[in-house]
Amino acid sequence: MRTTARRAMGALALATAAAIVLAACGSDSKDKGGDKAAGDSGSKTVTLVSHDSFAASKSVLAEFTKETGYTVKVLRGGDAGAAVNQAILTKDHPRGDVFFGVDNTLLSRALDNGLFTPYTAKDLGQVPAGLQLDAGKHRVTPIDSGAVCVNYDRGYFTAHHLAPPQSFADLVKPAYKNLLVTENVSTSSPGLAFLLGTAATYGDGGWQGYWKQLKSNGVEVVDSWEQAYNDRFSGSSAGKQAKGDRPLVVSYASSPPAEVVGVTPEPAQSPVGVATGTCFQQIEFAGLLHGAKNTAGGQALIDFMLGKAFQEDMPLQMYVDPVRKDAALPPVFTKYGATVDHPATMPPDKIAADRDDWVGSWNSIVLK
Amino acid sequence: MSALRTAYGRGARTPRGTAHPAAAAVRRRAGVRAALMALPLLFFAAFFAYPVAAIVTRGLHEGGNWHLGRIADVAGDAGIRHVLWFTCWQAAASTALTLLVALPGAYVFARLDFPGRRLLRAVVTVPFVLPTVVAGSAFLALLGRDGFTDSLFGVRLDTGVWAILIAHVFFNYAVVVRTVGGLWAQLDPAQEEAARMLGASRLAAWRRVTLPALGPSVAAAALMVFLFTFTSFGVIQVLGGPMYSTLEVEIYRQTAEVFDLPTAAVLTLLQFAAVAVILALHGWAVRRSQSALRLVDPALTAHRPRGAAERTLLGGVLAVVALLILLPLGVLVARSFDTPSGYGLAFYRALGSTDGGTFSVAPWQTVGNSLRFAAIATVIALAVGGLAAAALVRRSSGRLVRGFDALLMLPLGTSAVTVGFGFLIALDKPPLDLRDSWLLVPLAQALVGTPFVVRVMLPVLRAVDERLREAAAVLGASPWRVWREVELPLVSRAVAIAAGFAFAVSLGEFGATVFIARPDDPTLPVAVARLLGRAGALNYGQAMALSTVLMLVCAASLLVLESLRTTGSGEL
């Protein structure tokens, strides 16, 4: 028996050895290209750390390589919150040179943890002052903006001869009872942004009362944007398949154009509309990571991200608006998109200071 | 136990004259065991214990001080205690319900011979690899408003405990069918027949002979289902809604959103404590029930359904599979063809282009990534798990060995976000500098696959009748021949099942994979999640199409794995 066991062990040991060799070969061949080169100071690779929603056209990234000689390597891990937290945890050994994807709701956390080295981007003058939330120190550079707003199902409101809501105040009216679905503020970033929008509008002591009214008006809460928009909302194509029955949903100002991309023939209107008085502004920033190995490459990448080519590529890649004043929007955005003139805003340090308390009170008002 | 027996077994070939051959054998066996345990121990130390300890320590040890007071604060919080209670009881209820629904299935798939059996056995495993968000959405379509149960019975089960429990059965059905069925197919029916011949009723014979023989594998399946549902995340979110929360959900929230690492660390410790209790219970149950069994070729035990009772059973199981598994899967497949301009292949065609912007590679290329990662993870899991099972096969084990057994199961009961973040901060310096290495993904997947390999192989290895080996040896077979002709045919089925599980687990693993930042080579489930996270018909349709591809890849891989095994033994 012992011999049998030994044979079995032999076979398994062989398999193990094979696995290790296999693994080693694989990682070697991969490392030769990027990782090892990134260690050199005169490296031609610049590493961008971001979240799962980051996207850019291949051709645009190739343009960056052509202009600067640097190749971009992208590392993504989890959603925006997880990516920022990971960057903070690894700040002593940063995994890359530039971080992109910290927004105004998370900005204070990133700055307080000393994640970034100041850098003034070349074309910063092209960015409206209102979007430059770290204008004094330039630790981060605004790259894109967007808004979280209530979206409505155009078909539903036409069929019911009802005007869609336009403002926060409209949402608590009896006409819109049991129509809205939103996201849990403790697990979803659009959910949190919507809460912040109500707090910015009704004030520190007023939003609780507003949410009590919203609750008695039958607001439904689900855990994620995916569920709200794809399953519960009646206006999205996914929601129609899933027999969603809520014609109002907390989503993005860019959802209407997203709904028509790839649809043939092109419809006259997007099936989704935006209640422009219910928006909260989101700005995403990029920053040079403190301790970056390739500082020059990182600076070049930030300049490029604020450049016209990248800015004009973003809308269809990530469904966000460019921050450059002179960047043109793609036709599908100008034709189907909504213009949000005065979204609600809130300073990042105030968000950081109040957020945990607010999430706690929101939980006991809305979920209990 | 059998030092003497071993000495006897090898008697014909052992040179005489050593002073204490039996004692030497015991010592040598201990040595063999230590050698067998070395690699699994090293693997778990480096890729589980160390990363998890690192992230927990980061939470509890901040600014040079230990914050152990947090343990009492968090554990004493009424909200947290409620979450802990819900986590435990929904897992226990899900496990009981899964066993109830799936045990008849295990029998039918193991013993009855019907057309399409192999295909169906692969199909019931498909839910196991599906992203929970996707499957949860299909369940909503069936259980929610205007869904199947609503239009037929006027019952809406879309949010609440029942939806969670039913979805857990959907996901874990295959765990019971494959783990228990694997052993059941090899149990010698002659034993039960003998009992009946001696006058026992059918029920009594089953209860006294078959059930005790199946005990260890039922316990193994129950343990895995429990651990899986204990760490449930997507199902709770989609089908339970914000009113329901498990420890897994809370740990995710505290780590990835709120960034309160001390609280997350305490919750992780709570999770460990609960899992330790379950492992202790399981170990106790198994120690009371293990016995050597007569294993035979599965081809000899399967038969066409005989009599009304067996035909009813077959019909019932097929109906359950159709309602519980085929119907939700069908909803997803139907959605993947349901384009804005009528039914068609537009979403599948879109998978081949990079225009959508979600990826720098075409989405279908993620199939290659997934297969590559899963193959490597399976090899690692088989090596680590196989060695561990070989070390654990003797039951005369001390505490240390039992602790080793428990350690192997821990990753199943540990939060994916803990492991993912742990990898990030622990494996970033020499000698283990794996930052950004693609290898992290298969390593994380192998952590989840290994427990399956151990749990599937152990009951079968232990059941191999010692006397068979000894008889063969006494008759003059060389040890190699004993292994090849006696053990391998009996164990090969278990190896194939274990490999299938490890592969399926790796294919479907999402939690840890998504947190491991890597160059742009997303796996299928990660790609599905990215597509779902974007508005628009095209993105959602592609997510459904890619999920359908994932189902096909899973079913096809399992069929191939099973056919590898049957080339030698000719099982149907």
ipTM of the modeled complex = 0.82
- What CATH code is carried by the domain that includes residue A73? 3.40.190.10
Across the interface, do B424 and A3 touch by the CB < 8 Å criterion?
no
CA distance A359 to B3: 64
The total of other beta-carbon atoms located within 10 Å of residue A112's CB is 12
Contact B254, B264 (CB under 8 A): yes
A80-91: pLDDT as tens digits: 888 999 999 999
Is there a single domain that holds both residue A347 and residue A199? yes
pLDDT over 90 at B468, yes or no: no
CA distance B375 to chain A (A): 10
Choose between B306 and A199: higher pLDDT: A199
Is residue B13 included in any domain, yes or no?
Answer: no
Count of pairs with CB atoms under 8 A, one residue in A, one in B: 244
Task: Output the pLDDT for position A306.
Answer: 96
Is there a single domain that holds both residue A124 and residue A265? no
Is residue A27 included in any domain, yes or no?
Answer: no
| Phi (first) and psi of residue B203, to 5 degrees | -65, -45
Angle, CA B346 vertex, CA B340 and CA B347 arms, to 5°: 90
Q: Residues 136 to 195 of B: which have CB under 8 A from any A CB?
A: 137, 140-141, 144-147
* CA A158 to each of CA A152, A161, A337, B190, B276: distance values in angstroms, whole numbers, following the listed order: 11, 5, 19, 72, 58
Is the minimum CB–CB distance between B58 and chain A shorter than 8 Å? yes
Choose between B145 and B262: higher pLDDT: B262
Provide mean pLDDT across the span B286-303: 74
Is residue A157 included in any domain, yes or no?
Answer: yes
Task: Output the pLDDT for position B215.
Answer: 86
Amino acid identity for residue B43 in this structure: F
A316-354: pLDDT as tens digits: 889 999 999 999 999 999 999 988 989 999 999 999 999
Across the interface, do B437 and A27 touch by the CB < 8 Å criterion?
yes
| Phi (first) and psi of residue A46, to 5 degrees | -120, 130
Is there a single domain that holds both residue A58 and residue A153? no
CA quadruple B413, B415, B418, B421: dihedral, nearest 10: 120
Task: Output the pLDDT for position B517.
Answer: 60
Provide mean pLDDT across the span B72-82: 87
**What is the domain extent for residue B549?**
29-569
Is there a single domain that holds both residue A109 and residue A205? no
* Residue that has been written with the tokens 């993504």 in this structure: A76
Residue B42: burial class (beta carbons within 10 Å; 0-12, 13-18, 19+): exposed
Give me the helices (H) in B483-536, please: 488-508, 511-515, 524-532
Provide mean pLDDT across the span B237-261: 88
A285-307: pLDDT as tens digits: 999 999 999 999 999 999 999 99
pLDDT band of residue B497 (cuts 50, 70, 90) is confident
Provide mean pLDDT across the span A58-71: 93
Is there a single domain that holds both residue A187 and residue A137? no
Is residue A13 included in any domain, yes or no?
Answer: no
| Phi (first) and psi of residue B205, to 5 degrees | -65, -40
Is the link from the previous residue into B489 a cis peptide, with omega within 30 of 0? no
Instruction: Pick the residue from chain B with its C-alpha nearest to A187.
Output: B253
Is residue B56 included in any domain, yes or no?
Answer: yes
Contact A236, A227 (CB under 8 A): no
CA distance A325 to A127: 6
pLDDT over 80 at A30, yes or no: no
A193 by DSSP, 3-state: which?
A: helix
pLDDT band of residue A19 (cuts 50, 70, 90) is very low
Pick the closest to residue B249 from A250, A184, A86 (CA basis): A184
Which residues does chain B have within 8 Å of residue A236's beta carbon, measured at their own beta carbons?
A: 535-537, 540
Is residue A28 included in any domain, yes or no?
Answer: no
CA distance A301 to A288: 9
CA distance A3 to B9: 11
Is the minimum CB–CB distance between B224 and chain A shorter than 8 Å? no
DSSP character at residue A328:
P
Contact A259, A247 (CB under 8 A): no
CA quadruple A92, A98, A103, A109: dihedral, nearest 10: 10
DSSP character at residue A106:
T
Provide mean pLDDT across the span B87-113: 95
Is the link from the previous residue into A164 a cis peptide, with omega within 30 of 0? no
Cα A244 versus chain centre, distance: 24
Is there a single domain that holds both residue A223 and residue A348? yes
B9-43: pLDDT as tens digits: 333 333 444 445 556 666 666 777 778 888 999 99
Residue B326: burial class (beta carbons within 10 Å; 0-12, 13-18, 19+): middle
CA distance B58 to chain A (A): 9
Is residue A5 included in any domain, yes or no?
Answer: no
Interface probe with B: pick from A2, A3, A4, most Cβ of B within 10 Å? A4
CA distance A159 to A164: 11
Contact B450, B506 (CB under 8 A): no
CA distance B68 to B59: 10
pLDDT band of residue A17 (cuts 50, 70, 90) is very low
Helix (H), strand (E) at residue B338: strand B338-339
The total of other beta-carbon atoms located within 10 Å of residue B487's CB is 20
Is the minimum CB–CB distance between B499 and chain A shorter than 8 Å? no
CA distance A242 to B134: 12
pLDDT > 90 fraction of chain B, expressed in percent and rounded: 30
The total of other beta-carbon atoms located within 10 Å of residue B365's CB is 18
Is there a single domain that holds both residue A182 and residue A218? yes
CA distance A185 to A355: 10
Is residue B206 included in any domain, yes or no?
Answer: yes
Which residues does chain B have within 8 Å of residue A28's beta carbon, measured at their own beta carbons?
A: none
The total of other beta-carbon atoms located within 10 Å of residue B243's CB is 12
DSSP character at residue B411:
G
A174-198: pLDDT as tens digits: 999 999 999 999 888 999 999 999 9
Structure token digits, residue A344: 């609600």
Is residue A111 included in any domain, yes or no?
Answer: yes
Is there a single domain that holds both residue A119 and residue A163? no
CA distance B451 to B455: 6
Interface probe with B: pick from A73, A74, A226, most Cβ of B within 10 Å? A226
Helix (H), strand (E) at residue B161: helix B161-184
Is residue B526 included in any domain, yes or no?
Answer: yes
Structure token digits, residue B28: 């040598």
Pick the closest to residue B317 from B109, B526, B69 (CA basis): B109
Angle, CA B536 vertex, CA B531 and CA B537 arms, to 5°: 95
Strand A272-289 relative to strand A116-117, pairing: antiparallel
CA distance A84 to A302: 18
E runs forming strands in A4-65: 45-50
Pick the closest to residue A243 from B146, B301, B192 (CA basis): B146
Is the minimum CB–CB distance between B511 and chain A shorter than 8 Å? no
Task: Output the pLDDT for position B21.
Answer: 56
Across the interface, do A4 and B483 touch by the CB < 8 Å criterion?
yes
Is residue A318 included in any domain, yes or no?
Answer: yes
Is the minimum CB–CB distance between B292 and chain A shorter than 8 Å? no
Is the minimum CB–CB distance between B257 and chain A shorter than 8 Å? yes
Residue B308: burial class (beta carbons within 10 Å; 0-12, 13-18, 19+): exposed
* CA B319 to each of CA A257, B181, B489: distance values in angstroms, whole numbers, following the listed order: 44, 18, 33
Strand B65-66 relative to strand A220-222, pairing: unpaired
Is there a single domain that holds both residue A108 and residue A153? no
Which residues does chain B have within 8 Å of residue A57's beta carbon, measured at their own beta carbons?
A: 357
Instruction: Pick the residue from chain A with its C-alpha nearest to B358.
Output: A55
CA distance B364 to B369: 10
B325-378: pLDDT as tens digits: 999 999 889 999 988 788 888 889 888 876 555 555 678 888 888 999 999 999
Task: Output the pLDDT for position B19.
Answer: 47
CA distance A285 to B253: 23
* A24 CB-near residues (< 8 Å, 6+ apart): none
**What is the domain extent for residue A127?**
40-146+283-322
Which residues does chain B have within 8 Å of residue A7's beta carbon, measured at their own beta carbons?
A: 479-480, 483
Is there a single domain that holds both residue A184 and residue A289? no
pLDDT > 90 fraction of chain A, expressed in percent and rounded: 71
* Residue that has been written with the tokens 């554990």 in this structure: B75
B367-378: pLDDT as tens digits: 888 999 999 999
Structure token digits, residue A256: 């209407």
Contact B378, B452 (CB under 8 A): no
Across the interface, do B257 and A186 touch by the CB < 8 Å criterion?
yes
B312-325: pLDDT as tens digits: 999 999 999 998 99
Which residues does chain B have within 8 Å of residue A254's beta carbon, measured at their own beta carbons?
A: 535
The total of other beta-carbon atoms located within 10 Å of residue A276's CB is 18
CA distance B61 to chain A (A): 14
Task: Output the pLDDT for position A279.
Answer: 97
Task: Output the pLDDT for position B355.
Answer: 59
Q: How many domains does chain B have?
A: 1
CA distance B259 to A104: 16
* B471 CB-near residues (< 8 Å, 6+ apart): none
- What CATH code is carried by the domain that includes residue B391? 1.10.3720.10
Contact B559, B119 (CB under 8 A): yes
What sign for the dihedral angle of Cα A167, A173, A176, A179? Answer: positive
Which residues does chain A have within 8 Å of residue B420's beta carbon, measured at their own beta carbons?
A: 77-78
Structure token digits, residue A273: 């509309």
- What value does the CA radius of gyration of chain A take, rounded to a whole number of Å? 24
Across chain B, mean pLDDT equals 83
Give me the helices (H) in A40-100, please: 58-68, 80-89
Is there a single domain that holds both residue A196 and residue A225? yes
Which residues does chain B have within 8 Å of residue A77's beta carbon, measured at their own beta carbons?
A: 420, 424, 514-518
Cα A65 versus chain centre, distance: 25
CA distance A285 to A102: 5
Choose between B139 and B421: higher pLDDT: B421
Cα B452 versus chain centre, distance: 5
Interface probe with B: pick from A6, A7, A12, A249, most Cβ of B within 10 Å? A12
Structure token digits, residue B343: 């039914």
| Helix A308-318 / helix A295-305 crossing angle, nearest 10 deg | 70
Is residue A15 included in any domain, yes or no?
Answer: no
Q: How many domains does chain A have?
A: 2
Q: What is the pTM of this model?
A: 0.85
Task: Output the pLDDT for position B391.
Answer: 85
Is there a single domain that holds both residue A186 and residue A237? yes
Contact B91, B83 (CB under 8 A): no
pLDDT band of residue B143 (cuts 50, 70, 90) is confident
* Residue that has been written with the tokens 């035990």 in this structure: B301
